[in-house]
């Protein structure tokens, strides 16, 4: 009944918010009624130093979600840091956000930002905690029919991943305690049971080889990847068996071929979904940024080789078929960029592949990034104050039509 009611509604978002839970069927994500899930949305960071989802000093949660709805998006990739969960568990409870802001931004600026957040979001109680802000975003998403995809972005909170030197790069890296990571995945998966909008969770953003100085002797190879990723997936699945579980690859989540193909040297894993309790919940995620390839034919061939061949069909080279989502791609929001080869190529390629995507990034500023308060994000869809589109032409001529095509309108 619910799905027939949703289909009867005229707005396109309603056509793309099917009730969960979802599982996988070959290359598709489907619900019990057989509706195929396609995602078109944006990243909303909550893993920065304050561990409070960004932008709330400039706009209410509802106003920001309204903007995504206005261009038909149906998902946010909401990022979080293991450090937040460590602090909740080990300190006997979460921090209120006033303390969180003051701890990171200092007494004067932290208090001012907190006051602005409270003014923009009058429904927040003065003692609202960080995780309760995540709850409020998830609740508004449910209300407006936007999926939440939860992404463990880092262990130690902060901007990621300009390099391999931040201690968050690989299992066992300086800040990447795998025991705490699994504990946190289970905690968030369990907590997310109270979010009707939550349909999927990712294991870890952009795994990569730590720099020589930071490396603690942990081997960076597919065996270590497989052992840790399946253990992480176990933790999510035991805590919340409804969720789809996203697996990212190596090399800043650009290399996935070893997961689905055995035609590559260095593949030493046998990824057998039938042996895993959550075998029908596994989705692969890939990231792509402009690395200077201006030939779209060549770019598509590389993406296919490294990731998109996972969509099948099965062949001697493609042993296992998976659904795939491009959970990050983006560019500076200026008119010459959305027309440049990188954006033009993906705008055509992703819908053609019938895969979902989340662009980087929603907001036009961060509370603090890399030590700079109120950091301006030139890649943000929104302007510095989260009020209007930073580049209206990029949205109206580029992104909104792409959402439309992706979701089949």
Ligand X SMILES: *[C@@H]1O[C@H](CO)[C@@H](O)[C@H](O)[C@H]1NC(C)=O
Its sign, for the CA torsion 95, 100, 104, 108, is negative
Tokens of 362: 């929603």
* 20 versus 158: smaller Cβ distance to ligand X: 158
Q: Are 125 and 146 in contact (CB under 8 A)?
A: no
Size of the site for ligand X (CB under 6 A): 21
Compute the least distance from the CB of residue 351 to ligand X, in Å.
12
127 lines the binding site for ligand X (CB under 6 A)? yes
Task: Retrieve residue 74's tokens.
Answer: 């149906």
Q: How far is the CB of 13 from ligand X (least distance, A)?
A: 12
C-alpha dist (Å) from residue 348 to 176, 202, 253, 396: 37, 26, 21, 16
- Whole-number minimum distance, CB 207 to ligand X, in Å? 11
Does residue 143 touch ligand X according to CB under 6 A? no
Hey, what are 157's tokens?
């909170």
Q: Name which of 1 and 213 has its Cβ closer to ligand X.
A: 213
Nearby residues of 268 by Cβ (< 8 Å), 6 or more positions away = 221, 222, 223
Q: What are the structure tokens assigned to 121, written together?
A: 């979001």
91 near ligand X, judged by CB under 6 A: no
Task: Identify residues 227-286 at the interface with ligand X (CB under 6 A).
Answer: 227-228, 231
d(CA 4, CA 87): 43
Counting contacts by CB under 6 A, is residue 126 touching ligand X? yes
Q: What is the DSSP letter of 212?
A: T
Q: What is the footprint of ligand X within residues 174-233 (CB under 6 A)?
A: 178, 218, 224, 227-228, 231
**Is beta strand 28-31 parallel, antiparallel or unpaired with respect to 40-44?**
unpaired
- Which CB, 50 or 200, lies closer to ligand X? 50
400 binds ligand X, rule: CB under 6 A: yes
Query: Where in 12-71 is the site for ligand X (CB under 6 A)?
Result: none
402, 392 Cβ separation under 8 angstroms: no
Name the site residues for ligand X (rule: CB under 6 A): 106, 109, 125-127, 171-172, 178, 218, 224, 227-228, 231, 295, 297-298, 373, 400-401, 404, 409
């Amino acid at each position: 009944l619910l799905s027939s009611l949703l289909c009867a509604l005229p707005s396109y978002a309603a056509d793309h918010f099917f009730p969960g839970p979802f599982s996988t069927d070959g290359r598709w994500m489907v619900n019990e009624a057989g509706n195929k899930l396609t995602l078109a949305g944006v990243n909303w960071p909550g893993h920065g130093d304050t561990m409070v989802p960004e932008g709330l000093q400039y706009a209410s949660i509802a106003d920001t979600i309204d903007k995504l709805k206005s261009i038909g998006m149906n998902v946010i990739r909401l990022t979080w840091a293991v450090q937040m969960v460590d602090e909740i568990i080990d300190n006997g409870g979460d921090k209120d956000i006033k303390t969180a802001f003051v701890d990171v931004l200092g007494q004067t600026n932290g208090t001012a930002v907190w006051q602005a957040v409270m003014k923009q979001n009058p429904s927040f109680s003065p003692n609202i905690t960080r995780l309760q802000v995540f709850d409020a975003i998830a609740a508004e998403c449910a209300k407006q029919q936007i999926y939440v995809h939860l992404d463990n972005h880092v262990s130690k909170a902060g901007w990621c991943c300009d390099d391999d030197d931040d201690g968050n790069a690989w299992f066992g890296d300086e800040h990447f305690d795998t025991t705490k990571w699994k504990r946190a995945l289970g905690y968030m998966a369990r907590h997310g049971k109270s979010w009707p909008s939550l349909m999927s969770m990712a294991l870890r953003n952009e795994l990569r080889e730590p720099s020589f100085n930071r490396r603690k002797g942990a081997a960076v190879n597919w065996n270590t990847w497989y052992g840790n990723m399946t253990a992480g997936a176990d933790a999510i699945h035991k805590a919340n068996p409804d969720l789809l579980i996203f697996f990212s690859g190596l090399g800043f989540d650009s290399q996935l071929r070893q997961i689905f193909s055995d035609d590559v040297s260095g593949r030493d894993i046998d990824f057998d979904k039938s042996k895993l309790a959550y075998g029908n919940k596994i989705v692969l995620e890939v990231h792509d940024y402009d690395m200077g390839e201006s030939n779209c034919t060549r770019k598509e061939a590389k993406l296919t080789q490294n990731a998109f061949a996972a969509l099948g069909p099965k062949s001697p080279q493609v042993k296992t078929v998976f659904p795939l989502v491009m959970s990050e791609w983006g560019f500076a929001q200026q008119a010459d960029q959305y027309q440049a080869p990188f954006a033009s190529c993906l705008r055509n390629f992703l819908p053609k592949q019938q895969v979902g995507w989340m662009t980087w990034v929603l907001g036009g500023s961060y509370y603090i990034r890399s030590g700079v308060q109120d950091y301006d994000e030139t890649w943000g869809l929104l302007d510095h104050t989260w009020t209007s589109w930073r580049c209206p032409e990029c949205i109206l001529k580029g992104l909104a039509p792409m959402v439309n095509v992706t979701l089949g309108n």
